[in-house]
Amino acid sequence: MKKTDSKTGKRLANAEFKLVTGEDKIVEGQEMIVTGKDGTILIKGLTDGSYKLIETKAPKGYQLDATPIEFSVKDNQPNVKEVTKENTPIAEPEIEKTKDETKNSVTKKNTTTHQSTTRSTSTTSKRLPSTGSQNSGIWSTLGILVLLIVLGVVVLKVRKKSI
């Protein structure tokens, strides 16, 4: 089997397949078949029966085509069947930048079916942002209290020395 790009005809490496019988049971030893650098795979030693070759992972940058390739082996005769399976490249999204008078926006369009928009707006506020410390008043009071106690102790020691 040859694995190719549907647009350029270039052979594709690293496509993964599994081989199942006509009853959808995985053929032992054929759970993961990977196309080589030349984009081909060769399966040998099959007994009589119906089989399906199913793509389980497309090469990087290509869409998965899980449509099974059906074939059969009969009468223990050498049976060479050459099949070409094509993959379509994944379309890269187009990025459009538009500038509005009030807002900056970037629109990202996917050539398939998806569209997403990101908008940023700025708001002004006279309050500082909360940084997670909610007990700053208590800590400030405790700090001042400790300073007053230390100051009181120092003053008492100075008075005792002068007497």
Percentage of the chain surpassing pLDDT 70?
69
Residue 136 pLDDT:
74
Structural fold of domain 1-89: Immunoglobulin-like (2.60.40)
Q: Quote the CA–CA distance of 60 and 129 in Å, as a whole number.
A: 45
Q: Quote the CA–CA distance of 146 and 155 in Å, as a whole number.
A: 14
Q: In terms of Cα–Cα distance, which of 83, 85, 81 is closest to 56?
A: 85
Q: What is the DSSP letter of 40?
A: B
Q: What are phi and psi of 146, to 5 degrees?
A: -65, -45
Compute the C-alpha angle 33/34/38, nearest 5°: 135
Dig out the tokens for 76 from the structure: 């223990």
**Mean per-residue pLDDT over the chain, rounded:** 77
For the stretch 69-98, pLDDT in tens is 888 888 766 666 666 777 778 776 666 665
Assess whether pLDDT exceeds 50 at residue 5. Answer: yes
Assess whether pLDDT exceeds 80 at residue 110. Answer: no
Residue 97 pLDDT:
60
Q: In terms of Cα–Cα distance, which of 19, 23, 39 is closest to 31?
A: 19
Q: Where are the chain's structural domains? A: 1-89, 91-122
Residue 36 near residue 48 (C-beta atoms within 8 A) = no
Residue 94 pLDDT:
65
* 84: three-class secondary structure by DSSP: strand
Residue 114 pLDDT:
46
Strand 69-73 and strand 84-87: the pairing is unpaired
For the stretch 124-134, pLDDT in tens is 667 766 666 66
Residue 1 near residue 41 (C-beta atoms within 8 A) = yes
Residue 152 pLDDT:
95
* Residues facing 72 on adjacent strands: 50
